[in-house]
Amino acid sequence: MIDFNSNSIFKLSPIPVEHALDPIRKFLIPGEEILAVFKTIRDQVVFTNKRIIAANVQGMMGAKVDYTSIPYSKIQTFSVETSGVLDRDCELEIYISAVGKVRFEIRGGFDIVTFNRTISEYVLR
């Protein structure tokens, strides 16, 4: 899923913070907190107060997992697109130095406006 060089769209569903993959919790440094967790079928994207962590489950058995960490300090620009009446999905696009644009489509009635404010707090420091 998280092949940041493919320039594809990642369709995510929000899940409770407590459902973040256990290895991701072990990556967290002192003072780092999970803000939001999203999933695809097997993969996860976790937003903390320090970075975005993407878990890309690989292979048939899912035993191999690639973890990518994006510090907020590397985000140059970001944008959000709110959901509409018929299209309940919203989008978050981030532009990362040395990687380019990554686009996340979040399914359902997720509150992207409030999430934008939260991300802004960490990106704009």
CB atoms within 10 A of CB 1: 20
Three-class secondary structure of residue 73 per DSSP = helix
Q: What is the CA radius of gyration of the chain?
A: 14
Q: Report pTM.
A: 0.86
* pLDDT digit string (tens) for the chain, length 125 residues: 355 445 455 689 999 999 999 999 999 999 999 999 999 888 899 999 999 999 988 877 767 889 999 999 999 999 998 877 666 788 899 998 877 888 888 987 788 989 999 999 999 98
pLDDT of amino acid 1: 37
Architecture of domain 9-123: Roll (2.30)
pLDDT of amino acid 10: 63
